[in-house]
Structure 1
């Protein structure tokens, strides 16, 4: 991945990496990481994607090297921040690709700024159903800060992360994501990061699960190419959510990668990159039409909404 670059937006430092093909000569991929992660989640596919695209990978506010202020950590707030970053960098339109919570931000960006969105790629995204692992729901509960401070105390943190990484290397499909969890746990030693993640989680879910959804607005993707990628062994967000996408967005390309967990771009980077290349080559970038957008909103969805294509699978 390219070296960190920084820009100040509304008084807060934003970190990002910009690389790949020269800006203006190739499609731009805006890569959005998930909750508790940072832009380095895309490292396994960076070099491959950089062969064909301009890549912009920011650290979302409250994560990585970006500032961690008391502020707006909602999907809409993040979408606004991405719009502002693109404007500062002189980038007009992007294919926005989001993983996990970054998928929810990507959905919100496409909804708020369809005139700046050419395609939408969602990788094991949040925002497609209430189900989510209880471990994430717990981050929104009272007492979260004390619990996280205890598990990230010096010595305790090293033991916890070592155990998680060992389990992650066990080869068991249900444990394959624990090495990523270890990195997230280690990052919680930063009180600003703990605050940001708590605000983020408490804003998008309660004890029953996720309370935001794109399902009621998924019909709008008829005007925009949509690709969904899911790991078959995801224990954070169930792969059944991919079927929900197929029901409400029948024009979407939906693929389940069989030998992957919550991070299919890490588990199967070549297959993932091939999939993105195929999607980009087989679709034309969306061209925003206020009239078409208005018709979709007025009608409340495409006439063929009941036509559903089954998800394909990649080994």
Structure 2
């Protein structure tokens, strides 16, 4: 086993993107959720690093990569494209072969964008953790974020993020978990405060207006769809919709979890992820 913390990926003339690599074996990329950082995967990585080379970035605008902002926060029009390009750049730099990639929440949207922009060739498989192909709701689509309105209404939340990010975080973190009083909510809240508020506002606007339904319907590599039975963010039918349209998808609901099964049921989630990843790489059996 090897561990290489604190690596820096050059990003042109700007600050580098920070990432870590733990363990050896087939590459496994973990992309965190909105406002979080790579440390949200620490427990998961500890369970997987004996069997995989786990690559964990702090995505642009988050955590140690907070200074790695978008080209111009005021003028950038689609920061999800930037995050997708970053992920592909990281795969080429740190993996050198197709990866199994887990996207938690926003991280899954980044993977959808990467597939839309660069195709499926860099991925041996995808793991989607409680995410919709479209966050906003509207006519003909009620499977987005619970409580969200139209793209315009949902994007309006971005202004509050820019003006008072700590207050937004205080309200947001407890909603991630089935038990809002869990100590994990406070830990998550502390890590989210390190993210750049302007970048978060820009990203939220992008998430509120993105629509990856067509992209998801065309994905035919192996996909493992996961969610918690007590998710406060997305309805169960969202995963059903994805499962019905992805040609090679399997799904699992975690009975004790909310939006973050990898944190709330870590042992089972890690075992399922390892089984799925090994099937993608070695053709072994699916999780049971």
TM-score band by shorter chain is: 0.7 to 0.9
Aligned to 1:247: 244
2:161 and 2:198 in contact (8 A); partners too: no
2:100 and 2:280 in contact (8 A); partners too: no
Change (3 A) 1:143 1:107: closer
1:171-250 equivalences under 5 Å are 173=178, 175=180, 179-180=184-185, 183-184=188-189, 187-188=192-193, 193-205=196-208, 211-222=209-220, 224-250=221-247
Aligned to 1:27: 26
Aligned to 1:47: 46
2:63 and 2:191 in contact (8 A); partners too: no
Are residues 1:282 and 2:267 paired?
Answer: no
1:58-207 equivalences under 5 Å are 58-66=57-65, 67-71=67-71, 72=76, 74-89=79-94, 91-111=96-116, 112-128=118-134, 130=136, 131-134=144-147, 137=154, 140-148=157-165, 151=167, 173=178, 175=180, 179-180=184-185, 183-184=188-189, 187-188=192-193, 193-205=196-208
Aligned to 2:21: 18
Instruction: Output the TM-score relative to the length of structure 1.
Output: 0.72
Deviation at 1:87, TM superposition (A): 2.8
Change (3 A) 1:62 1:139: farther
Runs of 4+ aligned residues of structure 1 deviating over 6 Å after TM superposition are none
Change (3 A) 1:69 1:76: closer
Deviation at 1:51, TM superposition (A): 1.5
Secondary structure at the aligned position of 2:196 is classed as helix
Deviation at 1:260, TM superposition (A): 0.7
Change (3 A) 1:39 1:143: closer
Aligned to 1:4: 6
Secondary structure at the aligned position of 1:114 is classed as coil
Q: Which runs of 5+ in 2 are unaligned?
A: 137-143
Greater CA drift, 5-14 or 254-263: 5-14
Secondary structure at the aligned position of 1:119 is classed as strand
For 1:87 and 1:250, locate their aligned partners in 2 and report how far apart those are by CA, in whole Å: 26
For 2:157 and 2:186, locate their aligned partners in 1 and report how far apart those are by CA, in whole Å: 17
1:264 and 1:272 in contact (8 A); partners too: yes
The aligned length equals 263
Secondary structure at the aligned position of 2:226 is classed as strand
For 1:7 and 1:250, locate their aligned partners in 2 and report how far apart those are by CA, in whole Å: 34
Deviation at 1:284, TM superposition (A): 5.0
Secondary structure at the aligned position of 2:240 is classed as helix
Instruction: Output the TM-score relative to the length of structure 2.
Output: 0.78
What is the root-mean-square deviation in Å for CA atoms of aligned residues? 3.3
Change (3 A) 1:198 1:178: farther
Greater CA drift, 4-13 or 29-38: 4-13
Secondary structure at the aligned position of 1:3 is classed as strand
For 1:70 and 1:109, locate their aligned partners in 2 and report how far apart those are by CA, in whole Å: 17
Deviation at 1:281, TM superposition (A): 3.2
Change (3 A) 1:122 1:147: same
